[in-house]
Amino acid sequence: MSTYSQNIDAITKLRADQGSAWDAIDPEYAARMRAQNRFQTGLEIAKYTAKIMRDDMANYDADSSQYTQSLGCWHGFIGQQKMISIKKHFDSTDRRYLYLSGWMVAALRSEFGPLPDQSMHEKTSVSDLIEELYTFLRQADAREMGGLFRELDDAREAGNEVAAKELQGKIDNFVTHVVPIVADIDAGFGNAEATYLMAKKMIEAGACCIQIENQVSDEKQCGHQDGKVTVPHEDFLAKIRAVRYAFLELGIDDGVIVARTDSLGAGLTKQIAVTNEPGDLGDQYNSFLEVEEVTVDDMNNGDVLIKQNGKLVRPKRLASNLFQFRQGTGEARCILDSITSLQNGADLLWIETEKPHVGQIGAMVNAIREVVPNAKLVYNNSPSFNWTLNFRQQVFDSMSEAGQDVTAYNRDNLMSEEYDATELAAAADERIRTFQADSAREAGIFHHLITLPTYHTAALSTDNLAKEYFGDQGMLGYVAGVQRKEIRQGIACVKHQNMAGSDMGDDHKEYFSGDSALKASGKDNTMNQFG
């Protein structure tokens, strides 16, 4: 017996137990409302999605073609429409997640107005967005199931038992829009206690996966900007442990932690690590510092000196009171960061790179896997990369190395439209197309995400509409550029009243008021024009 049928039976019994006072309660209506509200709390969502993610990780370990993907969403509606589209096009949400970008929270959700990605926005705006995203995804479930219930009623009324049975199967096997969210906690918004409190709020809102980075909280920068400052490993590990304790306290035993290293682009540290003996973790961190050997006589007022490899050395300290790493040590630091994080409780890695290059990422992952064989990455397919230029230059370099004639191309100007129809451009586009599959296979990338794509799509679509509507096309700019495409592409949102919940409201009016219900979906509802 299906859960739906079980709920009808259970509520029928409950109604009978309550006597005549409940005569007006229809058990099937109540069962429908239960089916439309499968997840009552964020913790239920976190438990459900954590299992999905763990299963996906195991499947990827067995077969690297089973990688996962997500897009960053800055509003519940955007996340909802993304998942509705995925269900429409692929009949499944398998291996497709949402990403919550700290960058977009700062830029679009702060009460201070647009901010750079420096953790200056309100802490709770992150957990608020998680809750909002899941509210919209649950509403998508309720809306779609409401449509199935109305179709079921129509089939029953028409005496079409075949259609009714088919619809009952769709209800019983309904695929939820609720999927895992990889949620960005930045550098933890303060000390380890602050990180723990923030993580709890995020998990309570539904997060099963939290991504945290090894930058200094009060110096945090976007991963693709300059001026990044890292912290010693022990500081970062304390925050990883804080997130794990938050998961365990709330009963999410299989919660997922993504440890991000920004060391590739970070040339500075705020602290010299504590070290007790040569070769320990603190000593390894300090070994990357830019230092010069000195004697006591060489000391200046206020100098900081350390003993390193049996010598007295002076780390290079800037006027900002930050210490500088040696040039060219970024990849080695990333590898050490990653191994250390996995050995101390992280589940997945994130290496923030300056370009999308399978070979570069793969080389670091191979080094990590020598120590931790099942190491896996979450990777930022960042809009901060000029993908066209990067991959055209990669193809150019490959052609040069192979001895092919590249005199027709200017490497520094490969973004130009004049190259769009060339063999080089076609080869680059093919590499871009297969980048996710290639890097999943060759560079250990389990999860591919684009951090802020919907920031750009919103800007692009608005620009196109503004250009046409306020220009010569007038109303045709909206009709041809938006509405006609919505209708022909089957975009559910073309019926915006339905999307906003009008039909569900009508259902509830009928449940609550019976034949006296005043419904919005009558013949004069203009949504009927859309079929």
**Which of helix, strand or coil describes residue 400?**
helix
Question: What does pLDDT average to over the chain?
Answer: 94
Which range is least confidently modeled, 48-57, 232-241, 294-303? 294-303
Dihedral of CA atoms 72, 74, 78, 83 in degrees, nearest 10, equals 40
Q: Are 214 and 259 spatial neighbours (Cβ–Cβ below 8 Å)?
A: yes
Q: Is the pLDDT of residue 218 over 80?
A: no
Longest dimension (CA), the chain: 100
How high is the pLDDT of residue 299? Answer: 87
Domains of the chain: 1-35 (no CATH), 42-274+288-292+311-454 (3.20.20.60), 455-493 (no CATH)
Strand order in the sheet with 323-324: 229-230, 268-269, 323-324
pLDDT at 224 over 90: no
Residues β-bridged to residue 448: 69, 379
Annotated binding residues for Mg(2+), written as ranges, equal 184
Q: For residues 399 and 371, is the Cβ–Cβ distance under 8 A? A: no
- Sign of the torsion formed by the C-alpha atoms of 437, 438, 444 and 448: negative
468-509 pLDDT, tens digit per residue, is 999 999 999 999 999 999 999 999 999 999 999 999 988 998
Residue 97 has pLDDT above 60, yes or no: yes
Q: Cα dist. 210→130, 172, 313, 342, 491 in Å?
A: 11, 32, 39, 15, 32
Q: How far is CA 369 from CA 296, 363, 373, in A?
A: 43, 10, 4
Q: What percent of the chain has pLDDT over 70?
A: 97
Asked if residue 225 has pLDDT above 60, the reply is no
The closest alpha carbon to 57, from 182, 212, 176, 174, belongs to 182
User: What pLDDT, on a 0 to 100 scale, did the predictor assign at position 221?
Assistant: 67
Helix (H, G, I), strand (E, B) or coil at 256: strand
The pLDDT of residue 531: 73
pLDDT of 125-180, one tens digit each?
A: 999 999 999 999 999 999 999 999 999 999 999 999 999 999 999 999 999 999 99
Q: Which of 170, 5, 153, 166 is nearest to 511 (CA)?
A: 153
pLDDT at 222 over 80: no
What percentage of the chain reaches a pLDDT higher than 90?
87
Distance (Å) of CA 180 to CA 263, 391, 424? 27, 31, 38
- Residues identified as active-site: 222
Task: Grade residue 119 by pLDDT with cuts at 50, 70 and 90.
Answer: confident
What is the pLDDT at residue 347? 98
pTM of the model: 0.94
Written as six digits, the tokens of 89 are 């096009």
Judged by average pLDDT, the poorest of 232-236, 293-297, 392-396 is 293-297
In degrees rounded to 5, what are phi and psi of residue 443? -130, 15
Residue-wise pLDDT tens digits, 450-463: 999 999 999 999 99
Residue 495 burial class via C-beta count within 10 angstroms: exposed 0-12, middle 13-18, buried 19 and up: buried
Nearest residue to 425 (alpha-carbon basis) of 392, 470, 464: 392
**Helices 161-172 and 124-157 sit at what angle, rounded to 10 degrees?**
160
pLDDT of the residue at 121? 87
Which positions make up the binding site? Answer: 184
Classify each residue of 76-114 as buried b or exposed e, where b means 16 or more C-beta atoms within 10 Å of its C-beta.
bbbbbbbbbebbeeeeebebbbbbbbbbbbbbbbeeeee
- CA 453 to chain centroid, in Å, comes to 11
